Amino acid sequence: MIGRSAHSVPSHTPRSAVVTGAARGIGEAIATELVGRGYRVLVTDLDAAAAQATADRIGAAGGCAYDVTDPAAAHDVAKRAREIAPLGAWVSNAGVGFDGTVTELSEAHARALVEINTMGPIWGCRAALAAFREQAGAGTARGGEIGVTVSLSALGPVPGLSVYAASKAGALSMVSGLASEVRAEGVRVHAICPDGVNTELLRSMKPGGQAQALIRSGMLVTPEQVAQGLVGMFGTSRVYRTIPGWRGAIMRLTALAPGPVLRLEPAMRAIGARRARSLR
């Protein structure tokens, strides 16, 4: 189990936190983790009723609808969170995982991958920073935490998930640069890069397809492990981590030498297919 950072708990004055895509799966686990650490959490999702139901179930401060592709809506959500308590954390978790090669994906799915997985965190970070800066200027609170759910696929090529991987790589690059840009303001920015997570997103991929088989060749992690890994970085200078760590090392090796390493892709896909059959 990943240990908790003593610095990840809010100060004596309660602070609010926003989690996007939090009605279920990884987002719900992150929201639950933050509630346990003393944050007054605003659960957001496209489905307002599902967001409120999750908020009620986990003891969060509230739930509301939020479309992460809408820049103005991000500021509205930040304002709503600040009505609960000074904003202390923003987690951009909402994402989609349409699988398919570059030529197989529909135009709508290709655009959604970039608009939700890459631009969504950008709009969320901008809104969170605006709130942190306004609070600092008013003497209410200084700094804060920003978290982004990325993916192991951001670290290297993933056949069958090329556009998805590109959208996550863009988000990770943004996080890495932003962490340096705002360090002096007391804002810490983090990303979690998990291997395949046992959620509806993975199950929605084409059964027996290239992407699902490759993901299953690794180690499926739980939403709770992802939540603990991300929130565990709060209060630290660590920018990102992979879960599990050894898969991160393999992906970085693949990025350095994609030609030789990707020759193993058929074997890895066969391993994943066998694992998927054993789970049926």
- 0.85 exceeded by the pTM? no
pLDDT digits (tens, 9 = 90+) for 234-247: 999 999 999 977 67
How far apart (Å, rounded) are the C-alpha atoms in residues 50 and 43? Answer: 9
| In the chain, where the domains are located | 6-279
Quickly count: other Cβ atoms within 10 Å of residue 270's Cβ: 12
pLDDT digits (tens, 9 = 90+) for 85-96: 999 999 999 999
Asked if 147 contacts 171 with a C-beta cutoff of 8 angstroms, the reply is: no
pLDDT band at 251 (very low <50, low <70, confident <90, very high): confident
- Evaluate whether the domain defined by 6-279 bears CATH number 3.40.50.300: no
Name beta bridge partners: 187. 144
Hey, is 2 helix, strand or coil?
Answer: coil
**DSSP assignments along 55-91, one per residue:** HHHHT-SEEEE--TT-HHHHHHHHHHHHHHS-EEEEE
Of 134, 104, 140, 121, the residue nearest 179 (C-alpha) = 121
pLDDT band at 266 (very low <50, low <70, confident <90, very high): low
Of 225, 99, 221, 115, the residue nearest 167 (C-alpha) = 115
